[in-house]
Structure 1
């Protein structure tokens, strides 16, 4: 794998394309309206919704990474499948992933959705913790992308795609509870937790588990994923979406929220993964708890959400190129070894960025 297309040149897509270029790939960045100045990779303006344009572009490369909204990914995965090339994306959307998983049954290349932060990196960490136990009774995964200096009652800033956030807040969430796979409502199962003395709340959101319920049903009694926010956020979001009926106007809801809480530069990504079970016959607990802040990457200061997401997917792509991961079929994030991931140049950013 040498030639790769990156679709969508926002902050994450541009950084991912830059990191891939630095890793030795021949990168072409594609966007309907490319922005910014000089890039170290080739940039093309193309309509990413045009099937003919995408099929023509995919026929000239070895792989494609979609950094576009999840709603655009199924036709792109189908085009990659038809071209016989590797496919990667960052989606948190469950139906999109299920459609790509079906394509993978007959793919010539690797189909690897969910390669971002959550799902993605958090699943790699969770699987590593589960493997440390003789019998694992629970694995709880929590991720929060937040402003370091929150203001207002909501205590939030939309540094991530509003479409993706709204999707996570409104779609049902799969869990394993008491050995049974279940679907539960989002923005429920409220809990409080602390990281480095900072009080946070966590609640169910959709998609963060990826395929972990498929993998661990029957072997881990309890698995769930929650989003972390500053206290009070969940109640306000439930009021906004359900009492004001904005759940029926998703696009408008995203516009309102971004207008109220635009992106910030000083953000933080909290990752809290905890597993419990038996080691040498004794009940024990293992944790992976870190706060990631902006770092200098590829010559610029990058927000925490941009570099954690970009580094995660680029590390996976590098591992595929190097033969450390399968070359065909469907890739589950929990099948990626954490130690090997951390040794990859871009994966090592997760150690450098710890604070």
Structure 2
């Protein structure tokens, strides 16, 4: 794997292209708008909402990374599957992932969705913790991408795709409870937790577990994923979406929220993963708790959500290229070894820049 096409050159896509270039890949970036002229890789423009417009661009490369909104990924994966090349994306959308999984049954290349932060890195960490137990009774995964200096009652800024946030706030959530796979409502199961003295609330959101419920069914009886926010956020979001019925107007809801809470540069990504069970026949608990802040990457200061997301997928792509992961079929994030991921040029950032 040498030549990779990156579709979508927003903050994450642009940084992913730069990291891939720095890791030795030949990169072509494609977006609907003209890209900055100072990027170290080739760029093109085309209508990414139409698969026919980029089909020819996926005929010759070895892989494609989609950094597009989730609803475009199935079409990209279909083109990649037909071309016989590797496919990677960042989606949290469950129906999209299931469609890509179905394609992988006869794919010539690797089909690897959900390679971002959550799902993605958080699942890699969760699997590593579970493996430390002879009998794991529970695994809980929590991620929050937040402003360092929150303002207002909501305490939030939309540094991530509004479409993705609205999607995960409204779609049902898969969990393992008492040994059974269950579907539960989003923005429920509210809990309080603290990271380095900062009070946070966590609540169910969709997609963060990826394929882990199916993988650990019969092995880990209780598992769930929750999003972390500052206290009071989930109550306001439930009011906005359900009492004001904005759940029926998703696109407009995203526009309203971003207009009210635009992105900030000083963000922080909290990761809190824990597992409990038996180690050497004694009850124990293991935790992975980190706070990731903006850092300088490829000569520019990058937000925490941008570099953690881009680093996750690029680290996985490095592992596939170098033989550390399969090169065909379907990749589950829980099958990615944490030690191998952290040993990659890009994935090592998670080890180097995590506080706490």
TM-score past 0.5 threshold: yes
Partner of 2:234: 234
Partner of 2:219: 219
Report which stretch shifted further, 30-39 or 245-254.
30-39
Q: What is the SS of the residue equivalent to 1:105? A: helix
Q: What is the SS of the residue equivalent to 2:187? A: coil
Q: What is the SS of the residue equivalent to 2:313? A: helix
Displacement, 1:47? 1.2
Residues 140-187 of structure 1: CA deviation (Å, up to 9, x unaligned): 000000000000000000000000000000000000001010000000
Residues 56-115 of structure 1: CA deviation (Å, up to 9, x unaligned): 110020000000000000011000000000000000000000000000001000000000
Partner of 1:13: 13
| Equivalent pair of 2:13/2:310 in contact (CA under 8 Å) | yes
Partner of 1:149: 149
Which runs of structure 2 are paired with 1:249-268 in the superposition (5 Å)?
Answer: 249-268=249-268
Q: What are structure 2's unaligned runs of at least 5 residues?
A: none
Displacement, 1:282? 0.4
Q: What is the SS of the residue equivalent to 1:72? A: helix
Report which stretch shifted further, 32-41 or 128-137.
32-41
State the TM-score, normalized to the length of structure 2. 0.99
Displacement, 1:351? 1.3
After superposition, the CA RMSD in angstroms is 0.6
Partner of 1:299: 299
Cα distance in 1 between the residues matched to 2:256 and 2:166: 11
Partner of 2:345: 345
Partner of 2:247: 247
Cα distance in 1 between the residues matched to 2:215 and 2:73: 23
Cα distance in 1 between the residues matched to 2:307 and 2:123: 17
Partner of 2:322: 322
Displacement, 1:224? 0.1
Which runs of structure 2 are paired with 1:35-74 in the superposition (5 Å)?
Answer: 35-74=35-74
Q: What is the SS of the residue equivalent to 1:39? A: coil
| Equivalent pair of 1:9/1:34 in contact (CA under 8 Å) | no
| Equivalent pair of 2:35/2:43 in contact (CA under 8 Å) | no
Q: What are structure 1's unaligned runs of at least 5 residues?
A: none
Cα distance in 2 between the residues matched to 1:174 and 1:89: 20
Partner of 2:290: 290
Task: State the aligned residue count.
Answer: 355
State the TM-score, normalized to the length of structure 1. 0.99
Residues 21-76 of structure 1: CA deviation (Å, up to 9, x unaligned): 00110000000113434100000001112222222110020000000000000011
Deviating beyond 3 angstroms after TM superposition, the runs of 4 or more aligned structure 1 residues are none
Q: What is the SS of the residue equivalent to 1:47? A: coil
Which runs of structure 2 are paired with 1:151-190 in the superposition (5 Å)?
Answer: 151-190=151-190
Cα distance in 2 between the residues matched to 1:156 and 1:53: 36
Cα distance in 1 between the residues matched to 2:317 and 2:51: 24
